[in-house]
């Protein structure tokens, strides 16, 4: 809460920049819960609907609790055509479903728009690390390595 208050103070003074406020809040809080967004909305006098609309627009601003590792599989055209669906299937076989968090709270799987790896598709991100040119064995190894 202290950190959040500091953030709000900072953005009250600065030229207002909603997106980076939300990004920094995610860093502090992990995700944007109802309580967090409501708190920001009350303190900065921005409608909650607007904040939620914004948060739900960007896949990098989670609005529900995420696992320790957030897997984001690119679903834009060049990855899609080069087998992003197979990536999702492989992940499902390992026990990670789209839009879900595993029961042990370790993995969350989401789809995302282009992450700038069109030269080496299909690609995904796990937290802040990018993995390119994925295939079945590669994915299994990556997930094993994280377990």
Partner 1 sequence: MQIKMNGKRVKVKKGETILDIAKRNGINIPTLCYHPDLKPEGRCRICLVEVNGKLVTSCNTKVEEKMEIFTNTKRVLEARRLNMELILSNITYTRKDFELIKLAKELGIRKIRFKKHVDNSKGRGPIEIDNHRCILCGRCVQVCQNIQGINNIDFVNRGIFTEVTTPFNIPIKDSPCTFCGQCALYCPENAVRERAFSEKLIKYVEDMNLIKNRNKVVIVQTAPAVRASLGEMFGAEPRTLVTGKMVAALRKIGFDKVFDTNFGADMTIMEEANEFVKSIEKNKNLPLITSCCPSWIRFAEETYPFLLKNISTCKSPQQMFGAIAKTYYAKKIGVKPEDLIVVSIVPCIAKKFEAEKPEMKSAGCNDVDIVLTTREIGRMIERKKINFSKLGDGEFDEPLGIPSGGGAIFGATGGVTESVLRVIYEIFTGKKLKKVNFKQVRGFEGIRDTEIEMGNKNIKIAIAHGLGNIRKLIESGEWKRYHFIEMMACPGGCIGGGGQPRPTTWEIRKKRIAALYEQDKKMKIRVASHSPAIKETYKEFLGKPLGKKSEKLLHTKYEKRKPKYF
Residues that bind partner 1 (CB under 8 A): 34, 37-38, 47-53, 56-58, 63
- Closest approach of partner 1 to the CB of residue 47, in Å: 3
Q: Would you say 4 or 46 has its CB closer to partner 1? A: 46
CB count within 10 Å of CB 95 equals: 12
Q: Would you say 58 or 106 has its CB closer to partner 1? A: 58
- Closest approach of partner 1 to the CB of residue 78, in Å: 17
Strands 69-74 and 107-112: parallel
Q: Would you say 51 or 96 has its CB closer to partner 1? A: 51
- Closest approach of partner 1 to the CB of residue 93, in Å: 25
Among 55, 146, 54, which residue's Cα sits nearest to residue 109? 146
What is the C-alpha to C-alpha distance for residues 15 and 13, in angstroms, rounded to an integer?
7
As given in the structure block, the two tokens for residue 132 are 């390119």
């Amino acid at each position: 809460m202290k950190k959040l208050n500091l953030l709000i103070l900072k953005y009250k003074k600065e030229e207002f920049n909603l997106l980076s406020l939300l990004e920094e809040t995610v860093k502090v809080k992990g995700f944007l819960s109802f309580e967090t967004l409501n708190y920001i909305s009350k303190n900065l006098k921005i409608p909650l609907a607007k904040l939620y609309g914004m948060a739900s627009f960007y896949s990098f601003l989670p609005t529900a609790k995420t696992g320790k590792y957030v897997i984001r599989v690119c679903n834009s055209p060049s990855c899609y055509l080069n087998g992003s669906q197979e990536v999702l299937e492989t992940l499902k076989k390992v026990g990670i479903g789209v839009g879900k968090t595993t029961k042990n709270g370790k993995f969350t799987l989401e789809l995302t728009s282009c992450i700038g790896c069109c030269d080496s598709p299909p690609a995904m991100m796990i937290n802040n690390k990018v993995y390119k040119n994925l295939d079945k064995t590669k994915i299994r190894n990556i997930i094993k390595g994280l377990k």
